[in-house]
Structure 1
Amino acid sequence: MQETNKEYGGFLPLELNDTGEYFDNIPSEYISRYNSGTTALIAALKSISAKRLWAPYFYCPLVWQMLREKFTDEYDIVPYYLDENLIPMIDCILTEDDVVIVVNYYGLMDKRMHEWVEGKMNVIIDNAQAFFCEPVIKEGIYNIYSCRKFVGVSDGAYLIAKEQKQLQVEPGSSIDLFGPVYKSVECGTNAVYQESLKCGELLFSETTGMSKLTQAILKNANYQMIIEKRKKNFNLLHEAFHNVQKIPWNMSDGVGYCYPLLLNEDYRRKVIDKQIYVPTLWKELIVPEFEGRVEFRMSKNCLCLPIDQRYDENDMNHIVELVNKIMMEKM
């Protein structure tokens, strides 16, 4: 008789269906699963042989911290500015000695990302805000996806690339990270926000694979529903705000992480006071050094309004009403 480590009896565990992960259509040898987008980025950079690394100023400060701590000996790290359309402003000819990180901001730049990488090598497309962007499967292109902004999980990221060096890491544990996710069901997200921040710091400090629980949940997510709800909510907000929207580029390209409403003033505090919790991407750029640049305006005056699958048309109408009232008070 064949021996097995399978357990029998005891209490019933969490039961989840296996309807497949979103990227099941991608050949398995092109996919690596990690605990965070930062770990996926580390894996991508270790897969590339180059001398100079370009990264945008308009980028997560924790990622910048990681780059400076782990890669200053391997790369000459060069920050770059963005143009008004959030496209890289790199005024030199890129060679095989260069690697460039480009960001699909707000999940609304799918087509422009694909166009920008055309004919280039050693490009990392950071899709942390663009989970549903189709990966570019070609030599020298690395696609990073983070799960937590789109599905209720405690960790999880993908690196999708035709050729990559997988990090030799074990699956991480979600035991110390999952608390805010399940507590939010009974308490609401704001009640466990501080705990969520601490879990995020813990997640960032670890370099592991994706946890088993997260992968099980990702196999159970209703991705079509998520796409449809986010697109519908985005369109409702855009219809309401397009006349005051200061973003100059077409925002209909992708499944949004949020609705980025760029205004002439900073209304974030007043919006948060109305229990519309908008993140600041990124407060470190709201300094005199960046005044007059798009990085400053997007960090200071952009309201990242929620459009995720928790919300429906009534919620969007409520957000519109509150934001309009706040703007009218300033007039």
Structure 2
Amino acid sequence: MRAIGGYFNLELSCKGDIPHADGVFLNTGRNSLEYVLRSLGNIQKVYLPYFTCEVILEPLLKLQIEYEFYSINEKFELVEDFLLAHGEYLIYTNYFGIKDSYVRRLAVIYGMQLIVDNAQAFYTEHIPSINTIYSPRKFLGLPDGGIAYANGYYEVEERDISYDRCSHLLKRYDLGATGGYDDFHANSAKLKGLPIRQLSYLTEALMYSVDYEKIKEDRKRNFEILHTVLGDMNLLNTLSEDQYECPMVYPYYSLDIGLRKKLIENGVYVAIYWPNVFGWCESESIEYKMAKNLIPIPIDQRYDLDSMEYILNIIQG
């Protein structure tokens, strides 16, 4: 029975449609991959890149699916093409949301044997008949969530509950980024091993409260501001060639070994994508060098021109 009266809940207004509304909304990005794998049925083997987050292994290990790593080049593209046998699939990561055009090329080559990891490319349109996963919390202030498109069906009846994974989101308002940092890591750890469930009512309501077009415009504007100044210094020289709907970060590839530390010391928190690569790859590999030297600069909707100029002053100072 619906409750009437009593205390108030959070006031979350509905801004309109959610991107990928025709996908399957689940509780985590890694469970979106699990959904795809379960829906496909008899999988013999999966190929995945060395340069990726280790959580992608979680559903593969859980389902006891054989996997093999492959290498990429300095353009984040396959070093060599695959001849996939029946029951074999290729996972490709749309790195930083800048490889949309390359994903379309792979879709033509591998068709329904391709699984696109769009965790870093939330705004990239799903290609019909191509298995695809998204992780909206990489772009939005959410406790969890994932979206799947699969060439098959798997029944998920139970809905998740996510209120106990929101403390870092709330603390950041009152205490700032450092005040909620420990909670962020603790809440992220809670996502490990979660059973595959439908998206929670709370996370769904949070997603409906977002102005997606404004976020997209802000991100693209900030990306272009940084690229206009840093483009010639960026050793990642493919950004101007690639076509993308909306990047997640500005990937700045620099051999300045002190730059990451300098940014962090000045309050610009830049992550490492991904530290697990250091254990998977040789130090001379492209993947190792990318994980070590590529700095993902924040460009998201929280920041304006002044923020971008602040970042540029640190880099150029």
- TM-score class normalised by the smaller sequence: over 0.9
Structure 2 partner of 1:284 = 276
Which has the higher mean CA deviation after the structures are superposed, 308-317 or 289-298?
A: 289-298
Which has the higher mean CA deviation after the structures are superposed, 204-213 or 146-155?
A: 204-213
Structure 2 partner of 1:180 = 168
The one-letter code sitting in structure 1 at the alignment partner of 2:188 is: G
Structure 2 partner of 1:295 = 287
TM-score of the superposed pair, with normalisation by structure 1: 0.89
Are positions 1:203 and 2:163 aligned together? no
The one-letter code sitting in structure 1 at the alignment partner of 2:316 is: N
Paired residue total = 311
| Contact 1:36 1:204 (C-alpha < 8 Å) held by counterparts | no
TM-score of the superposed pair, with normalisation by structure 2: 0.92
Structure 1 partner of 2:144 = 155
Q: Structure 1 runs of 4+ off > 6 angstroms?
A: none
Q: 1:106 deviation in Å?
A: 0.4
Structure 2 partner of 1:13 = 9
Listed one character per residue, the Cα deviations across residues 28-76 of structure 1 (whole Å, up to 9, x for unaligned) are 4xx2111111000001111223311101111111222442x3133xx32
Runs of 5+ unmatched residues, structure 1: 326-331
CA distance in 2, matches of 1:165, 1:137: 15
Structure 1 partner of 2:88 = 98
Q: 1:235 to 1:130 in 2, by over 3 A?
A: same
Residue correspondence of structure 1 range 1-331 to structure 2 within 5 A: 5-23=1-19, 28=22, 31-48=23-40, 49-67=42-60, 69-72=61-64, 75-120=65-110, 121-138=112-129, 141-161=130-150, 163-207=151-195, 208-249=197-238, 250-266=241-257, 267-286=259-278, 289-325=281-317
Percent identity between matched residues is: 28
Q: 1:252 deviation in Å?
A: 4.8
Q: 1:169 deviation in Å?
A: 4.2
CA distance in 1, matches of 2:127, 2:82: 24
The one-letter code sitting in structure 1 at the alignment partner of 2:87 is: D
The residue matched to 1:54 in structure 2 has which SS?
strand
CA distance in 2, matches of 1:292, 1:260: 20
Q: 1:278 to 1:135 in 2, by over 3 A?
A: same
Structure 2 partner of 1:328 = none
CA distance in 1, matches of 2:159, 2:63: 24
Q: 1:297 to 1:158 in 2, by over 3 A?
A: same
Which has the higher mean CA deviation after the structures are superposed, 248-257 or 111-120?
A: 248-257
| Contact 2:50 2:281 (C-alpha < 8 Å) held by counterparts | no
CA distance in 1, matches of 2:94, 2:88: 19
CA distance in 1, matches of 2:245, 2:255: 25
Listed one character per residue, the Cα deviations across residues 51-104 of structure 1 (whole Å, up to 9, x for unaligned) are 11101111111222442x3133xx321110112211123454123321111100
Runs of 5+ unmatched residues, structure 2: none
The one-letter code sitting in structure 1 at the alignment partner of 2:227 is: H
The residue matched to 1:290 in structure 2 has which SS?
coil
Q: 1:167 deviation in Å?
A: 4.2
